[in-house]
Amino acid sequence: MALQLILGGSGAGKTTYLHDEVIRLSMEHPQEQYFLIVPEQFTMQTQKDIVTRHPNHGTMNIDIVSFARLAYRIFEELAVENLSVLDDMGKSMVLRKVAAAQKRQMVLFGGQLNKPGFVGQLKSMLSEFYQYGITPENLREMAPSAKSPLLQQKLNDLALVEQSFQEYIEGHYITTEQVLDVLCRLIPESKLIRNSVIALDGYTGFTPVQYRLAELFLVYAKQVFVTVTADEAAGVYGRMGMQNLFYMSRQMAVRLSEIAEKNQIKKLPDIVLNDQKNRRFAQHPELAWLEQNLFRYGTKNTYNGEQTESISFFQASNPSGEISHIVREIQRLVQEGRVRYREIAVITGDLPGYGKEITHQFTQNQIPHFLDDKKNVLDNCLVELIRASLEAVRQDFSYESVMRFLRTGLVSQDRTMMDRLENYILAMGIRGGKRFRATWEQTYRGAGDLNITELNAFKERALAPLFAMQETFRQEHLTIAGMTDAVLALLTDCRTEEKLGSYQEYFARIGEHRLAKEYGQVYGLVTELLKRLSDLLGEECVSRKEYLEILDAGFAELKVGVIPAVADRVVVGDITRTRLAHIKVLFFAGVNDGIVPARKEKGSLLSDRDREFLGEHHMELAPTAKEESFQQRFYLYLMMTKPSKQLVLSWCRTGADGKSRRPSFLIGELRAMFPNALLADQETQDDSEIYSVVEAKRKLSAELGRYRDGQLGVSVEADISGGNSDTSASKTQIGLDAGVAQFLELYRWFASSNDYQETLRHLTDAAFFVYEKQGISHAVANALYGEILSGSVTRLEQYAACAYGHFLKYGLELLERKRYELASSDIGTLFHESIDLCFRQAKEKQYDWHTMTDETRDALVEECVAAVAESYGNTILGSSARNRYLAQRVGQITKRTIWALQQQIKKGDFVPAGFEISFSAADNLSAMKIALSEKEALHLRGRIDRMDVCEDGGRVYVKIIDYKSGSTSFDLLALYYGLQLQLVVYMDAVSEMAQNHYPGKEIVPAGILYYNIADPLAEKKGDPDPDQIDAEILKKLRMNGLVNSELEAVRHLDRTIEKESDVIPVVLKDGEVQAGRSSVANRERFARLSQFVHRKLKEAGQEILDGEIGVEPYKNGQRTACDYCPYHAVCGFDRKTSGYEFSRWKNRKTEEIWEEICKEQQ
């Protein structure tokens, strides 16, 4: 029985010495047992090292184990049976259950159980108590001593949780932390341990239970070796504070020595390794200097020796730039033959933040690598399937939960039917299990050729497992075991194991080995979790919500372990978890403030002050934030002294989130130690050397863009065809800038390589892409639209706004997804239908708008709005508080609108004659039928909200009004460019209809007007008169449009006009219409305008049937056709790409526009 410590700084050769000594002793005493105990992550590497160094290339009588593996070896030896170990997953689920049961008794933590991550915090706290031997009794005894009432409550609540947890698992399970407690009780009985030689390597310190094990090793084993990282033997046993780099090593060495002394175990002289020749850094003095001086304060630590570039720095703009630099350096090192991939490691303090970018760029550049990180499966489709199904049952088939279930990829692979199903659910507002189970019969507007029978059949197949699960969950007093059986049945019904296997094969085929491993393991992990849940809590009865919360606690602990796919690969890991061996080059990425050292996460239920108090009362727990910060320095020291040849540290100015970042304090310290070390910057770095085809493609692509823009000043054809094949000769011969010469070399290389000529073609096509207007053939247009082009005037206006948008909507019939919601268009429809019904009812009841009382009018409005709302089935209008409010507002605004419309009627001589008047080519109206060729024609249809007439002798004046729920203004320029054609066409149509109705009379257009539906406020000044308020509101609700300039027509429209009308956009002065301040046109101009619009429609129709589909949206000032276009993702319009241009409107004055319109009709 003896203890011997092996001391030395990082890289001194402690592990090598220990391995050699153990191998020597094992060969000299083959009958004895040797245990080499290392951290779990290091067992495989240690086995490999022992086999490599052993003369017989085997481990023979040497066992390489971790503490946990040693425990199971002893359990096996002593035939310990029925030892069920509760891992973190099971612990979380049990904790969630017992904590919920004690919720009311917990004064402080009872209300926090449902907070995300709280169960995880409880589990970590409980694990800490088990590791450090803290019992519920310890916590209760300590509580009264705490001066803080908050700490007292914490200790009492934690004691309650720990006791409840222990009582639940008593006699059935032990925790992973208790495994070593059991081992401590069994070691005295073990013959394997008795008289064996035990070596502990790779530990920076021990927990209390591990110290108990070490004591038992000393008592029962023949000899115990322990490696301790410290550079001086004398200093290790002296007094030192926690700020000392080797404080943890000192604690370990002193405590082991005290244990040996207490048990009267002989302590052999320490082995101190200080021989420079055996050190890791013998050939690299900068790295040796780093190991000897890092974090040793109070000593001279500026390196003035030989510069070997073993240490360098790199500053990047962002994390992506850091990884790009690392990729280039790895490619350079490997191509130069200086290292193998397996001799390179990349470490970062923020693996979650950097891991994805590293994986992306390494994969893209074909660098084999292994990400040393266990992947959480919370985002795996199998877990999502279970969680979504439980939510669907709990929420009675809400849209979100049902679609989450269907979109997991484990229900159906028929994406077309899945899309159709989702479209139907959204459009019809399907909610609730009853409606999902029903046979659907109705379709919706825009459903196209939807086969409702086929859709029902698909729905039944897809949701059958969910329906079955819901039936099970409807049972009373359903236990956790019953719920779990229903979940397992759902997995079987969905054939998830088979589908996950297909995914695994797919990912393996495309080289996504990490995902292949995940999908290969996840089914077994999840079903094991479900079975474990049944075993642990099967007889318990909980709500569906609690069941899901317990499952979530288990899912949070599920991790997929991945082993390296190949031996020659770069290891990517973090500072504390990753164990590196035989590394020549280390890249340390993300050395920024807040990452290195890492900020302590705010997740512990006990604060640092709490821990300090407990520590003062001899209750040892995990380190405080202060202690942890000093420990992090030690881990940094260990990590940065791993490479034997080169250390590269990098940081970024801004993070992936765009926020600025500062370099870590570590950078300042290292730059002070190595003032002459190379510091490269991404912005000034020379990246002319190219080490991979991927980089060559990226470089050539960028330079082709510059070449296209004429920035290189060379001609590819001339300089490549006439250039020398020898690169250096070519550069000298043509005397080009190095960057230009490199571009030509790259172009020549791709052009001459049979494997990459196609790649070059794609790159040049992309670089020189110019959008060219292309149409479809006349035959294709006819096939899409037919010889008779039918539609509304709005369709032709859409064409004028953007021909491509028209093609997508009316040719390909791409429609936005219909949703069961009250959209702005629905509000507009409610307004239109309510107003229309008011006028119809007034006509039916023979009300006179000129004499109707306010009471009668308001009652009529309320009756009509209620009727329209009822016609909606009171479903969508009452489906939410928002919709109910909107319905109320519709009533209020409609009341204001009908008031304003009545006032406008009363001010004039016109009477409403028609409402929601529809007309089309079928009515044989010449305005709605336009011949395009001998066989082709444009047939229009439309509907005007209201037509008013005024009979005056042999004339009939006609006024049309279009109600708008937005703020539409008549714009003659828009009309000139093909928009706002509606009112002119409608006036032509109603004029024809009026002529038929009033034969022998002259039909005169009085006005084409917009009325904007609104409920404006009047400015309150002093004590306002109600009549003045009404007058101001009426003025704000004045119609806009184009009015007949003849004074007689104006007087019929507004008899009360003196200067500025409150009804129409007309201003008088001295009894004459002021054309400059009014929106007016004489009868001749109305006729010219009609002819102009007719020609515009004919041109548009001909162009459509000729196949015009150019991407050329209009632009007028800041307004464009793209502003509210739903086809952005389809058209690809981009002003940065050559060829794409707006159709810009030329701004003209109103009189100039009239001159153009009249001139074109002459």
Helix, strand, or coil (residue 560): strand
Strand-pairing partners, residue 35, are 63, 198
Beta strands in 761-838 (DSSP E): 788-792
**Residue 726 has what pLDDT?**
45
Q: Please tell us whether the domain made up of 285-367+565-681 is placed in CATH 3.40.50.300.
A: yes
β-strand pairing of 223-229 with 174-175: unpaired
One-letter-per-residue 3-state SS of 604-632: CCCCHHHHHHHHHCCCCCCCCHHHHHHHH
What top-level class would CATH report for the domain 376-560? mainly alpha
Tens of pLDDT, residues 323-375? 999 999 999 999 988 899 999 999 999 998 999 999 999 988 989 998 888 77
Question: How far is residue 863 from each of residues 758, 901, 912, measured CA to CA in Å?
Answer: 72, 18, 20
Q: Which two tokens stand for residue 1079?
A: 């929106």
Distance, CA of 1096 to CA of 1078 (rounded, Å):
25
**Residue 840 has what pLDDT?**
92
Q: Which two tokens stand for residue 513?
A: 């080995």
Distance, CA of 1111 to CA of 1120 (rounded, Å):
13
Element (H, E) at 571: strand 570-574
Q: Whole-structure pTM over 0.85, yes or no?
A: no
Q: Which residues of the chain have pLDDT under 50?
A: 234, 721-734
Beta strands in 980-1020 (DSSP E): 1002-1012
Distance, CA of 536 to CA of 173 (rounded, Å):
9
β-strand pairing of 955-964 with 1002-1012: parallel
Distance, CA of 67 to CA of 71 (rounded, Å):
6
Question: How far is residue 197 from each of residues 209, 220, 257, 877, measured CA to CA in Å?
Answer: 20, 10, 18, 81
Main-chain phi, psi angles of 307, to 5 degrees? -90, 110
Main-chain phi, psi angles of 437, to 5 degrees? -75, -25
Find all residues with CB under 8 Å of 291, minimum gap 6, and list them: 9, 10, 11, 281, 637, 641
**Residue 733 has what pLDDT?**
41
The superfamily (CATH) of domain 2-83+178-278 is P-loop containing nucleotide triphosphate hydrolases (3.40.50.300)
Number of Cα atoms under 13 Å in the Cβ half of residue 486: 25
Give me the DSSP letters along 323-384: HHHHHHHHHHHHHTTS--GGGEEEEES-HHHHHHHHHHHHHHTT--EEE--PEE-TTSHHHH
**Residue 521 has what pLDDT?**
92
Tens of pLDDT, residues 806-862? 999 999 988 887 776 666 667 778 888 899 999 999 999 999 999 999 999 999 999
Which of 1154, 1160, 1091 shows the shortest CA–CA distance to 930? Answer: 1091
Query: Is the sign of the CA dihedral 748, 752, 756, 762 positive or negative?
Result: positive
Distance, CA of 75 to CA of 952 (rounded, Å):
112
Distance, CA of 481 to CA of 540 (rounded, Å):
8
Distance, C-alpha 792 to centroid of its chain: 41
Query: Is the sign of the CA dihedral 1113, 1116, 1118, 1123 positive or negative?
Result: negative
**Residue 723 has what pLDDT?**
44
Residue 678 CB neighbours (<10 A): 12
**Residue 1160 has what pLDDT?**
66
**Residue 1162 has what pLDDT?**
59
**Maximum distance among all Cα pairs of the chain, rounded to whole angstroms:** 132
